[in-house]
Structure 1
Amino acid sequence: MNYEEALNFIHGRTKFKKHPNLNTIKLLLKKLNNPQDKINGIHIAGTNGKGSTLAFLRNIFQAEGLKVGSFTSPFLIRFNERISVNGMPISDKEIVDLVSIIQPIVKCMDEELEHGGPTEFEIVTAMMFLYFAKHPVDIVLVEVGLGGLLDSTNVFKPKVSVITTIGYDHMKILGNTLGEIANQKAGIIKNNVDCVIGKLPSEALEVIKNVCYEQKSNLFVPEQDYFISDCNEKSWKENFSFSNNLISIDNLSINMLGQYQIDNAACAIETYIRYKKNNYQSINYKIIREGLINTFWAGRFEKLNDKPTVVIDGAHNEPAVLELSKLLKHHFSNNEIYIVLAILSDKQYLKMINTLANINNVHLILTEFSGPENRKSAALNHILEAVNAKHPVKFVPKWKIAIMKSVNEMSNDDLLLITGSLYFISDVRKLFY
């Protein structure tokens, strides 16, 4: 088997479960001698902010000199990014080796199980657990794929559980109310395992509190158990202070813009502190400071060019776009902002468009891209009349031409933001790297 054949096997699997339970992934892992029981991990769920929080945590642990494994999704450039060590994707050979072990087991399960064998994500999750069982690291940061309760990653007992945010996304699968969605996210909370959360709506917070009470898990809540005070300075850095009942640190800096990134960084700090405290280890302020300032997460308000400034951002649902609009209003109120926007058809795209189109200095161009596999890009030309915009909204079907048209209209002092989908900005990013 070569690398391409290994990827074809993975991507050729069905994407969604026919079984609303974890039985298949547990059976697959059992046949692999339960590698999930051999890792020392932290589990991270949330509507948005999972990846950034994981990146902050990874860099804090790395600043301490630890070897850190990560499991993330989706990937931006190459599949290998999903399983990484100290931020470096595993090799093509390691992907092939993992698939070579798992493929024959999956083939047997296809024949044995009435509803069919493991899905693509179940296989990738098993690959991750198997990799870190065979190549031990000091700690593994595991990002939930979707939801939590029935997510394929929800098969190990972490040292800390993290829920970053809860908002409206994937409602067909997770539920139509914040309470229902929160109940799915709360599925990662384990008995007597600390749970750290980010800023949650009150309806979602009540659900998390109840589950933590049932599970006898200590819950750590922003503005109750840990505190942030941020600086309003406008630059390509965010500065803030952090405190809880154990430490207080002033003048922390991150290179990722947005109040939501300050929130993610604070969530990561609190998680790190709870992990260290539970392991009876001391907390080094210098390590936290160094880890934060060195954190970079591709596709999260990532600057690709100066003069004019070109930025990509993976905001792909309404909660993320709301946070993005706050960032634009705070940091770029004196610039003309050109936004090239493409969104998957299963998202709340009209809400997302109107949120951005209502900013006074935003000029919006809607476009389309080739969505991943069976997920289509929204046909946004049909909704132009429904958009409530400050400036005329244009539709250009080919995204490369949409970007060129925007650049031709801009001055060097303007901002070009390309956003709407992680899959879309993955295509865009390839033009610059």
Structure 2
Amino acid sequence: MKNRADVINWIEGLLSFGIKPGLERMNWMLDRLDRPDQMLKAIHIGGTNGKGSTVSFLRHTLVEAGYSVGTFTSPSMECFEDRISLNGTPINEEALLTCAKRIQPLVEQLSKTEYGSPTEFEVLTTIAFDYFGTIAKPDIVLVEVGLGGRLDSTNVITPILSIITSIGFDHMQILGESLKEIASEKAGIIKEHVPIVSGVSQEDAKRVIQAVSNQNKSPLYVLGKHFDEEVVAVNEERQVFTYTQIGREPLDVTIQMSGPHQRQNAAIAIQALELLRTNNQLVIDDTHIQKGLLLTTWPGRFEVLQESPTVIVDGAHNKEGMQALAETLKLHYPNKNVRFLIAATKEKDMNSLLQPFLDFQASFTFTTFDFDRAAKAESLSTQAPVQTKRYHENWTQALHEEIEQTKMDEVLIICGSLYFIARVREKWKNLISVM
């Protein structure tokens, strides 16, 4: 391997090994790297929705307080390397090559053992831990769970704090059909005596998390019980809310992230920071929190690409995400009709996902994109329980047509898959660069 392209080609070549839950391959590789994961002061963030936004709220605030912060997130939004970043800057080519060259021989050795070849995500996780542990050495690392929790490749770490943002119906073919089963998998990141912050709202899921916390003697802090948020004011650009916590003075906070769910994600981040502050693991004050949260953005989360007419990309791709999108539209654009451009993966059920929009004045265009798990546009359209709909198999052409047809009193929402959103954002950057 001589450059970043070689590394990316090598890693993406592991995609054919798919998803292989389990920690055996991770531990095998990390043991031979002298456990860089054990050198990290990490916060582990799991949940169905809200992980990336919560990571971003935490990162911006910690950087504002003067800390160097590593982040491991997925999927990529700007470039392949942005999954592994330091203070928001993706891993550089030299460091990527150094880590990849260390790990490649291990991957070849591992593939010949009873465990078989590691997956793309396992190799990415190992590169991230190696980079943070031996090269970047940040003050703190924010590690986002890839899928589930209990058997996710990130779950080899012992963090100083764990977070479960939410529980919802996603990846049921792997995590289980019921909220209890999914919550059990998510709760697998809870470690003995490590505090856990939860934004989970459903009673069945809350009971599971409480039981696992009790079993591990892990202090549990729950949104709506130990801490909360109360909205003060909302417009198209800002949300103002008051953060409340038992034993703490209320804190007024302004964020530019849209939707009620983002107020909750911000509150979860504040509670996490408060725990680390009171446990003397961080030095941080209210001004850092207020400035950091106000600065926070996260690509693809109700992200406004254009104002006139309004074009927004949003990563909503499951039932709970679509519900949050519907609530956000009603809150921030109550008087505008909506156009949707949607692409999704094969396992998604449009009949279920689109229920929150049945009372909207809206039109729907379904499309597909170059991804091995992408559903056909016609299939999505057939499933959709809406009247005003069409499909177009060429997503770039569909995008151009939707932009041209969107009126000034309408909002164009592009959603359905984070992988699709990433492609749209890349296309948008190219469009802007030639204008």
Residue identity opposite 1:128 in structure 2: A
| Distance in 1 between residues matched to 2:42 and 2:33, nearest whole Å | 19
CA contact (8 A) 2:338 2:360 kept: no
CA contact (8 A) 1:15 1:121 kept: no
1:423 maps onto 2:424 in alignment: no
Give the structure-2-normalised TM-score: 0.94
| Distance in 2 between residues matched to 1:5 and 1:233, nearest whole Å | 47
Which residue matches 1:261?
A: 262
SS in 2 for 1:411: coil
Which residue matches 1:378?
A: 375
Deviation at 1:314, TM superposition (A): 0.9
Deviation at 1:413, TM superposition (A): 2.8
| Distance in 2 between residues matched to 1:315 and 1:19, nearest whole Å | 25
Of 19-28 and 79-88, more deviation after overlay is shown by 19-28
Q: 1:25 to 1:345 in 2, by over 3 A?
A: same
CA contact (8 A) 1:333 1:361 kept: no
SS in 1 for 2:253: strand
Residue identity opposite 1:284 in structure 2: D
Q: 1:121 to 1:15 in 2, by over 3 A?
A: farther
Deviation at 1:249, TM superposition (A): 3.7
| Distance in 2 between residues matched to 1:385 and 1:133, nearest whole Å | 49
Deviation string, structure 1 residues 218-245 (Cα, Å, up to 9, x no partner)? 0000111002101243322111000112
Which residue matches 2:232?
A: 231
Which residue matches 2:407?
A: 411
Deviation string, structure 1 residues 341-379 (Cα, Å, up to 9, x no partner)? 1111122233123433x13222211111112xx32x222
Which residue matches 1:363?
A: 363
SS in 1 for 2:155: coil
Unaligned runs of 5+ in 1: none
| Distance in 2 between residues matched to 1:29 and 1:352, nearest whole Å | 39
SS in 2 for 1:240: strand
| Distance in 2 between residues matched to 1:269 and 1:328, nearest whole Å | 25
Of 213-222 and 230-239, more deviation after overlay is shown by 230-239
| Distance in 1 between residues matched to 2:283 and 2:210, nearest whole Å | 28
Which residue matches 2:103?
A: 102
| Distance in 2 between residues matched to 1:363 and 1:64, nearest whole Å | 45
Unaligned runs of 5+ in 2: 430-435
Q: State the superposition RMSD in angstroms.
A: 1.7
Deviation at 1:274, TM superposition (A): 0.8
Deviation string, structure 1 residues 370-411 (Cα, Å, up to 9, x no partner)? 12xx32x2224245455332x511212222222232233322
Deviation at 1:19, TM superposition (A): 5.9
SS in 2 for 1:146: coil
1:87 maps onto 2:85 in alignment: no
CA contact (8 A) 2:20 2:119 kept: no
Of 293-302 and 330-339, more deviation after overlay is shown by 330-339
| Distance in 1 between residues matched to 2:259 and 2:265, nearest whole Å | 10
| Distance in 1 between residues matched to 2:127 and 2:24, nearest whole Å | 17
Q: 1:382 to 1:25 in 2, by over 3 A?
A: closer
The percent of aligned pairs where both chains have the same amino acid is 37
CA contact (8 A) 1:165 1:198 kept: yes
Which residue matches 2:155?
A: 154
Deviation at 1:123, TM superposition (A): 0.9
Residue identity opposite 1:126 in structure 2: T
SS in 2 for 1:339: strand
Which residue matches 2:120?
A: 120
| Distance in 2 between residues matched to 1:87 and 1:307, nearest whole Å | 29
| Distance in 2 between residues matched to 1:214 and 1:153, nearest whole Å | 21
Q: 1:283 to 1:85 in 2, by over 3 A?
A: closer
SS in 1 for 2:334: coil
